[in-house]
Amino acid sequence: MVGAVQGAGVVVTGAGGGIGAALARRFAAEGGRVVVNDLDAGKAKAVADEIGGIAVPGDASAIVAEAKDALGGVVDVYCANAGVGSGGSEAAPEEVWALAWDVNVMAHVRAAQALLPDWLERGSGRFVSTVSAAGLLTMIGAAPYSVTKHGAYAFAEWLSLTYRHRGVKVHAICPQGVRTDMLDATGSAGDLVLVPTAIEPQDVADALFKGIEEDRFLILPHPEVAGYYEARAADPDRWLTNMNHLQQKWEAAQ
């Protein structure tokens, strides 16, 4: 399997359930030594106990040092998976925008700040960012989520173009709907856009490992997203018109 994973020290944030738990299980199954992080200490411990990992609960923005100690001083793979699916428009409260920015973007930045000195010194490290297809496209009814996921994708892209020649591997995972609690929380917008093609969290983990094997930056568990992304770039006005039709359909159903 993936040689870079066997024996590697792996951190997965937001791993108490959903995509994070699936990633933790897969890394453990492939021989990784996995730190399971989640705000919910009970959920983190349950997944860690299941896979023979180490639970390090708490804020994903501030656990790198503790996770590094738990792994004997070395983090080889960091999965910045914790996120919030903040809905709403431009009128969403400031605190909603601030939380989305802090969790979906700045937690990744803080992790990179803590990890990169060691990685650049030794010439290796792997940063996995769970973004979303919303980071490539957008999501109706969810301005804070869409905007901050664009930010998460931009930061992953910047990391890759800046440090790939120094041994740092970066992967951006951009699924559409995944059958998790976050999907359930998207309400009628998710029912319209995401639920019809939703996949299982394990499918996301499978896509990541295939991407690692092929040394790819962009991981698309829903392959059709590539076509949407291409159409958006080729003809933005046509793409926006089509998305606006979807917006109108959603509004009419409210």
Q: pLDDT tens digits for 78-113? A: 999 999 998 999 999 999 999 999 999 999 999 999
pTM > 0.85: yes
Position 63 scores a pLDDT of 94
In this prediction, residues 223-242 reach a mean pLDDT of 97
Residue 205 has pLDDT above 90, yes or no: yes
SS3 of the chain: the string is CCCCCCCCEEEECCCCCHHHHHHHHHHHHCCCEEEECCCCHHHHHHHHHHHCCEECCCCHHHCHHHHHHHCCCCCCEEEECCCCCCCECCCCCHHHHHHHHHHHHHHHHHHHHHHHHHHHHHCCEEEEEECCHHHCCCCCCEHHHHHHHHHHHHHHHHHHHHHHHHCEEEEEECCCCECCHHHHCCHHHHHHHCHHHCECHHHHHHHHHHHHHCCCCEECCCCCHHHHHHHHHHCHHHHHHHHHHHHHHHHHHC
pLDDT digits (tens, 9 = 90+) for 159-202: 999 999 999 999 999 999 888 887 677 777 778 777 888 889 99
The pLDDT confidence band at residue 137, using thresholds 50, 70 and 90, is very high
Residue-range domains of the chain with CATH = 9-253 (3.40.50.720)
Instruction: For the chain, give the longest Cα–Cα distance.
Output: 56
State how far Cα 43 lies from the chain centre: 18
Residue 130 has pLDDT above 90, yes or no: yes
Position 219 scores a pLDDT of 98
Q: Using CA atoms, how far apart are residues 252 and 247, in angstroms rounded to an integer? A: 9
Angle made by CA atoms 158, 35, 73, in degrees to the nearest 5:
80
Phi/psi of residue 71, each to 5°? -100, 15
Position 1 scores a pLDDT of 45
Q: Using CA atoms, how far apart are residues 115 and 112, in angstroms rounded to an integer? A: 5
In this prediction, residues 26-38 reach a mean pLDDT of 97
Which tokens hold the place of 231? 């159409």
Better-scored residue on pLDDT, 198 or 35:
35
Q: Using CA atoms, how far apart are residues 77 and 5, in angstroms rounded to an integer? A: 8
**pLDDT, the chain, mean:** 94
Angle made by CA atoms 177, 181, 184, in degrees to the nearest 5:
65
Residue 47 has pLDDT above 80, yes or no: yes
Position 135 scores a pLDDT of 97
Position 191 scores a pLDDT of 80
Which has the minimum average pLDDT: 47-56, 113-122, 188-197? Answer: 188-197
Position 195 scores a pLDDT of 81
Residue 234 has pLDDT above 50, yes or no: yes
- Positions marked active-site: 145
Residue % of the chain over a pLDDT of 70: 98
